[in-house]
Amino acid sequence: MKVNLSDDFKTKYRNLLGKRAEDLFEAIQQDSQEAFRLNPLKPDYQNVSYSLDKPIEYSNIGYFGDIDGNSIDHLSGYVYSQEPSAMYVTEILDPKENDKILDLCAAPGSKTTYVASKMASQGLLVSNEINDKRAKVLSSNIERMGISNTVVTNNSPKDFEKKFGDFFDKILVDAPCSGEGMFRKDPESVKYWSLDYVEQCANRQRHILDSAYKLLNAGGSLVYSTCTFSPEENEENISWLLDKYPDMHLVDVKKYHGMEDGHPEWDNGNPELKKALRMFPDQFNGEGHFMCRLVKDGEPKTIKERAINDGLKKEDRQFFNKFAKANLNGLSDVNWLRISDFLYQAASLDNRFKGLHILRNGLKLGEFKKNRFEPDIAWILALKPSELKTVYHFDEPQFKKYLHGESVILEDRPNFNKWIGLSYQNKLFSWGRFSNAQIKNVYPKGLRR
């Protein structure tokens, strides 16, 4: 599809890039570059049906190539489709296992699921999205990838200021932007672009950055990224932040082939802006991005959790323990949390979250119903086959039948417990409810194919 660039856009980048602008305009007319990531939270995570012959240089789990959203690798959370430029943001953030990290603009979840995959289910990741519809998509992607250490929230950055103060070790602001770098991937977005829209985005981004600064612990890192070329949303915003908060400074980030320095000449000439990086599709094998890492001076404060009650009743524990004893090979000691009738393996029991709109606190294990506990699909997507007493491995016809919403009859009439894990190509993807030689379908209707 031809990308219809406006005259204002062309004039702006001819002024900034000179003759090179024509190369950029031509690159925007080319096909976007497809890529995907593996999920190291899964057992034997490299065992996928997609070629791993074209690795991405700056990511040890990223590869060039396209994936099928209906494949078992995708449905079971072994792979995640992500544009290759965007993968580098997480590498710059450099998550560690015990970090407290805030992804302030997290939907649809590409970067936040990458961050979680590097935290090995440790520490705390708060993934926030202000738009409620996009927040639900974010939550579902976190569920599919089997992530347990994440609280998904649907709030404004200002809401966090009131609750947390300078709480977080690392903050990612992948800011909503004018989207110039994604024009060829999403040609429809060109229709929304204007010089005024760029200014609106830049103003909104400054509000977000201001909140991020206040939420960052001393010694912590703030990674700012956009998928736009616009200096107003990039170099100018970083200069604004540095001027307003002298205790923030840019640090160098490694630049691979095709990545460029930031452009001080597009703002106030501050040479520090060269420490940022840019990706233009005429030079780099990916879409357009801007990224930088800032550090807040000072010694980090020790932040203590303000614990809340888990809300569990005595009978809740009995019902859950009965289920676990019948179906699991042991059970780890974790933070349990009851919300309404649902049981979670909580990512946090900190009362700072009280009053926020929370879509998911950690791993949703299941639901308490009359005199019993029933497991949720989120839990099976986070379990390993070795943790279950019974796993039934589907062949292809059985898998397609179950995925379609049908039950599966077993001719050999095995002696299974009521709840079993279901696997295809050695990848867990759902629970099954077994009764009278039949695996009854409990696959969520919204996921059926």
Tally of CB atoms within 10 A around 311: 15
Q: Which residues are catalytic?
A: 227
Picking from 444, 400, 443, the residue whose alpha carbon sits closest to that of residue 425 is 400
Q: Are 434 and 444 in contact (CB under 8 A)?
A: no
Q: Which residues are annotated as a binding site for S-adenosyl-L-methionine?
A: 105-111, 129, 174
Residues in contact with 54: Cβ distance below 8 Å, sequence separation at least 6, in sequence order? 63, 64, 65
How, if at all, do strands 259-261 and 277-279 pair? antiparallel
pLDDT mean over 377-382:
98
Question: Residue 253 has what pLDDT?
Answer: 97
pLDDT tens column, 256-293: 999 999 999 999 999 999 999 999 999 999 999 999 99
Domains in the chain (CATH in brackets) are 390-449 (3.10.450.720)
pLDDT tens column, 92-104: 999 999 999 999 9
pLDDT tens column, 107-154: 999 999 999 999 999 999 999 999 999 999 999 999 999 999 999 999
Is pLDDT at 378 greater than 80 in this prediction?
yes
Question: Residue 69 has what pLDDT?
Answer: 93
Q: Are 319 and 342 in contact (CB under 8 A)?
A: no
Residues in contact with 244: Cβ distance below 8 Å, sequence separation at least 6, in sequence order? 210
Q: What is the mean pLDDT of the chain?
A: 96
Tally of CB atoms within 10 A around 70: 10
Question: Residue 99 has what pLDDT?
Answer: 97
Question: Residue 102 has what pLDDT?
Answer: 98
pLDDT tens column, 327-360: 999 887 788 999 999 999 999 999 999 999 999 9
Please, which pLDDT band fits residue 64 given cuts at 50, 70 and 90?
A: very high
Q: Which residues are annotated as a binding site?
A: 105-111, 129, 174
